[in-house]
Amino acid sequence: MKKIVSIILLFAVVLFSSCSKDDPVTTIPQEVITTLNYTLTSSTGETFQFKFIDPDGDGGIAPTVSSEIIPANTVFTGRIQVLNETLDPVEDVTLEVKEEDLEHQFFFSSTLNTTVISYQDQDASGNPLGVETGFMTGASGNGQLTIILRHEPIKDAEGVSEGDITNAGGETDIEVSFELDVQ
């Protein structure tokens, strides 16, 4: 009987000691985004580009942010491109965002209340994605335009499908604020 108890105890020790908290856990890495381009094209074909570049990602080099003066009372189409320029060749992360559209959504906010931004694309479930947008300016003014890419947002939460990030949850892949100068 002592032999059976010893075998059971030995088996239990081997079983529990084989599961170490140091064993690797499989996680899906977040996208590395070093560049965000938001290009606005007017109905006359004139283009304006808002650009954020952080060449070393979350490293010590400060990002550069550029924007342009855009015309008042104008309708634009907008397109976002996100890149990982730490790789050679450069990785177009926009393709991954589109492939994993159920797990991503861009959110937009402007402190200039005469600016209206609308979603022009959807994920596989019919929820907004935000790579393609409508963008309309009203009267002249200055403010900020903020673009946020949220990873794994709760797309059916209140207000999220209308572009309200308040209840979206998830994690921010990138958040950029541009100076918005409408003339």
Q: What is the pTM of this model?
A: 0.83
What's the number of CA atoms in the CB half-sphere (13 Å) around residue 45? 0
Task: Return the H-helix or E-strand segment holding 20.
Answer: none
Structure confidence at residue 21 (pLDDT): 45
> 22-72, pLDDT tens digit by residue?
544 434 456 789 999 999 999 999 999 999 999 887 778 899 999 999 999
Give the C-alpha separation, 80 to 120, whole Å: 12
Of 18 and 81, more confident: 81
What gap in Å lies between CA 72 and CA 94, rounded to an integer? 29
15: pLDDT strictly greater than 80: no
Q: What is the pLDDT of residues 145-177, one digit of tens each?
A: 999 999 999 999 999 999 999 999 999 999 999
Assess whether pLDDT exceeds 60 at residue 14. no
Averaged pLDDT for residues 120-132: 98
N residues, the chain: 183
Structure tokens at 180: 């918005």
Q: How far is CA 53 from the centre of its chain?
A: 15
> How much of the chain exceeds pLDDT 90, in percent?
77
Q: Using one digit for the tens of pLDDT, what is the confidence trace for 86-122?
A: 999 999 999 999 999 999 999 999 999 889 999 999 9
* H or E segment and range at residue 175: strand 171-182
Q: Which domains does the chain have, with CATH numbers?
A: 29-182 (2.60.40)
